[in-house]
Amino acid sequence: MGLDFSVVPGYLGVLAMGAGWTMAITICAGVLSFFGGIVFAVIALYGHWSVRLPVRAFAFLFMGTPLLLQLFLIYFGLIQIGIDLPAFVAGVIGLGLHFAVYNSELIQASILAVDKGQYEGARTLGLSRGQTLRRVVIPQAVRAVIPPMGNNMIALLKDSALVSVIGVMELTLAAQQAISRTYRPFEFYLAAAFCYYVVNLALEAGLRHLERRIAASR
């Protein structure tokens, strides 16, 4: 039997809903990973050891274990200690923290690369250390890190498929549901792949636009 894509249109609504959830989870986890990355980076570089060491250990754990396992731990594991998160929230937290750790590594390197003269320029005006970091150093570090962080965001979008295993009705799970009704895995997985590809193209275009916009201010 050959491919028959004529079954796909009937499930476009399901797929579109799935793509919507995929985008929602990517955006939420992306925002969390961005701000989380900045917070982790600042703690790793400037935090008191009593905060820095736990954050280091946490980062090491998140980098050294599979994301899938982390999602299981957050969704199924935490229930045992009384924290019952909705699947969507668990997915956002898992993906967001996982990528925050990777973003943090980029931001740390970028903060250290900001010219010493920038600190001196700000401090001689009377800005405190914290004010200098917030208003002068971190904005520059973040601008420099947008292109590599964009790569992380694209990886995040693709890895969002993993949250299907904890039951978030995103694109991959939506495709699976269509398959379980039609027994047409090839068509629906291809359709889902095509959707991921289109969303990724849009994300990349957005990132390029952002890079162009900040080019003058670097």
Partner 1 sequence: MSDQAFVTIKNAAKSYGQLEVLKDINLTVQRGQIVAIIGPSGSGKSTLLRAINELDPLTSGEVWLEDVQINRKLPHRQYEAHVNQVRQDIGMVFQHFNLFPHLTVRGNITLAPRMLKGLTEAEANKLAEEQLAKVGLSEKIDEYPSRLSGGQKQRVAIARALAMKPKVMLFDEATSALDPELVEEVNLVMRQLAEEHMTMIIVTHEMDFAASVCDRVLFMDKGVVVEEGPPSVIFQNPANERTRNFLRKHLSR
Binding residues for partner 1 (CB under 8 A): 115, 117-118, 120-129, 131, 135-136, 139-140, 143, 214, 216-218
Distance CA 98, CA 62 (A): 6
d(CA 44, CA 1): 57
Residue 181 CB, nearest approach to partner 1 (Å): 52
Q: Which is nearer to partner 1, 50 or 217 (CB)?
A: 217
Minimum CB distance to partner 1, residue 125 (Å) = 4
Residue 31, classed as helix, strand or coil, is helix
Which residue, 53 or 125, has its beta carbon nearer to partner 1?
A: 125
Q: How far is the CB of 117 from partner 1 (least distance, A)?
A: 4
Distance between CA 139 and CA 160 in Å, rounded? 28
What's the DSSP call for residue 65? Answer: S
Closest distance to partner 1 from the beta carbon of 127 (Å): 6
Which is nearer to partner 1, 3 or 125 (by Cβ)?
A: 125
Tell me whether residue 82 or residue 117 sits nearer to partner 1 (CB atom): 117
Minimum Å gap between C-beta 52 and partner 1 is: 18
Beta carbons of 204 and 154 less than 8 angstroms apart:
yes
> From residue 204, how far is each of 40, 123, 158, 169, 207 by CA, in Å?
25, 37, 13, 24, 5
CA–CA dist 88, 92 (Å, integer)? 6
CB-based burial of residue 6 (10 Å sphere; 0-12 exposed, 13-18 middle, 19+ buried)?
A: exposed
Residue partners of 28: CB distance under 8 A and separation at least 6: 92, 96
Of the pair 122, 173, the CB lying nearest partner 1 is at 122
101 touches 59 (CB < 8 A): yes
Tell the smallest beta-carbon distance from residue 159 to partner 1 (Å): 31
The residue (of 84 and 115) whose beta carbon lies closer to partner 1 is 115
Distance CA 137, CA 43 (A): 14
